[in-house]
Amino acid sequence: MNEPRQPGEVRMIPIDRVEVLNPRERNGRVFDEIVENIKTIGLKKPITVTPRAAPDGGERYMLVCGEGRLKAFRSLGETTIPALVVHVSDDDAFLMSLAENIARRQCRSLELLAGIRQLHEQGYTPKVIADKTGLTQQYVQGILTLLQQGEERLLVAVEKGSIPLNAALTIVGAGDDDKAIQAALQEAYESGKLRGKQLMDARRVIERRAALGRTTAHRMPRNTSDVSTSSLIHTYQNEVERQKAMVRKAEFAQQRLLFVVGALRQLFADENFVNLLRAEDLATLPKYLSERVWAGGLQK
């Protein structure tokens, strides 16, 4: 059951007295937009904090909501910021902060999943987590099941929309037996859980899961006997194709560079063109190009 939020008051508080309770990484472009928006029209919504006693006898604040706005104000050189001051316990403050981050669903997929796990570890049931974050109880329960099984690859695929949650749970239910997993895929296809591109995505995730493990960390398989011959061949073929693509890109870049060098040599042989560049103070080239345009190195 949702707990009512304590009423608070809005007042100006010192920025240097605010402690970030649940910090998270932020996209640079999004942060720049927040700063520009605040610079142009001001702060539309105050941050939310809860007061605590400071060691110096004064008052400090734990940030509940509004880390981006707080950082934006600080970057603009402001010393105070409008804040809604609420009186809640440490646990409630942490919960409110975590639920706010999850409900926005603008964080990276693993941050969202870690937030659900933190709430569960705090003792909240899937129903309460769903109520507080705006997610469905079925989704929360499914995510917790995948988390408990350590299925990071499937979790990321679910959050990206590559594989439906119910299909991921079907795959997990099949265990590590390759035949059981293939049967689970067949069942998911026939029941309509996996169709078209999603079926192909599911197969790719399963192959990587078999070859590299359930987590997304880059590591060697824990037991080579768990790796099937087909998955090894597929992994090798993918690596070969990647290397071929890199070679093609390198050859294309080399051809473009030769063309540019040849064109520059012809242009710099024209005295009128060189005089024009000098008049515009553009007669120099980057060292990488100059060493190729002029055989003796940089032009004197």
3-state secondary structure of 5: coil
Q: What DSSP assignment string belongs to 141-201?
A: HHHHHHHHTT-HHHHHHHHHTSS-HHHHHHHHHTTT-HHHHHHHHHHHHHTTSS-THHHHH
| CB 80 within 8 Å of CB 15 | yes
| CB 159 within 8 Å of CB 109 | yes
Delimit the domains of the chain by residue range: 9-107, 149-226, 240-293
CATH architecture, domain defined by 9-107: Alpha-Beta Complex (3.90)
pLDDT digits (tens, 9 = 90+) for 157-188: 887 777 888 888 888 887 777 778 888 777 77
How high is the pLDDT of residue 221? 40
| CB 30 within 8 Å of CB 50 | no
pLDDT digits (tens, 9 = 90+) for 74-96: 888 889 999 989 888 877 777 77
pTM of the model: 0.45
Closest CA to 228 of 203, 211, 206: 211
Three-state secondary structure of 82-100? EEEECCCCHHHHHHHHHHH
Cα distance between residue 7 and residue 124, in whole Å: 23
